[in-house]
A and B are shown apart, each in its own frame.
Chain A
Amino acid sequence: MVAVADQLFKALADPTRRTILDELTEKSGQTLFEICSRLSMRHRLGISRQAVSQHLAVLESAGLVETRREGRYKFHDLNTAPLRHIAERWPLPDASGPEGNTP
């Protein structure tokens, strides 16, 4: 459990990796080429393909990205399920409850 959390927080600590997650939120199932295109064209990130691959490997080890082989192609999918660990560890205030913090 501690190891899972360490990998998760390490993965989320980097702004480029958070940008990759943003782009996968917009559209899951991207090739490495599409992820690289989005980072360079939309975010002006001058980053090599190898570096993007390494970021994806960190995200994959945290379970936030899953890869899928489809024929000759390889796609990257978003998996937000590991984020549940955060809310379970530090529960969110219940907005609908009697002590809700709704303004």
Chain B
Amino acid sequence: MKIHMTSVFVDDQAQAEQFYTEVLGFVKKHDVPVGESDRWLTVVSPDEPDGTELLLEPAAHPAARTYRDALVKDGIPLAQFAVQDVQAEYQRLRGLGVRFTQDPLEMGPVTTAVLDDTCGNLIQIATVPQ
């Protein structure tokens, strides 16, 4: 068994596509219309085009909002992405206007930071020792 895909609920898929590709730097993999206005929209890392896909799923279900709002209030991230250098990525993203709820924090061998994806979620970026 392997993890082929994971998902985050997003308020707006067009906004999510823009943020996850142009700001975070992922690459769009699948974009298929589903139903009236939804899309099967996935992105992958440019370093791993055949790696795990991230599904940007519409947060239409009323429970999704309640769940995400409660997590965001307490600063809890819904997903974690690995980066080479958290500090450098923090500077780069801050320059693009990204809001961080946790600045880079060194905790033993791991450094993390938490950002707002502008689509209703907090995302953690982390440098994990190789």
- Measured CB to CB, the residues of A under 8 A from B are 27, 30-34, 37-38, 41-42, 49, 72-74
Contact = CB atoms under 8 A, between A and B. Distances in A.
Contacts of B31: none
Is chain A's binding surface mostly helix, strand, loop or mixed? helix
Contacts of B82: none
Interface residues of B, number: 16
Most A C-beta atoms less than 10 A away, residue of B76, B77, B102, B114: B102
Contact of A42 (B73, B76, B108, B114): B108
Contact of A72 (B73, B102, B107): B73
B74 interface: yes
B76 A33 contact: yes
Given A37-B112, A41-B110, A73 B72 contact: yes
B110 A33 contact: no
Contacts of B72: 72-73
Given A72-B69, A73-B72, A74-B74, A33 B107 contact: no
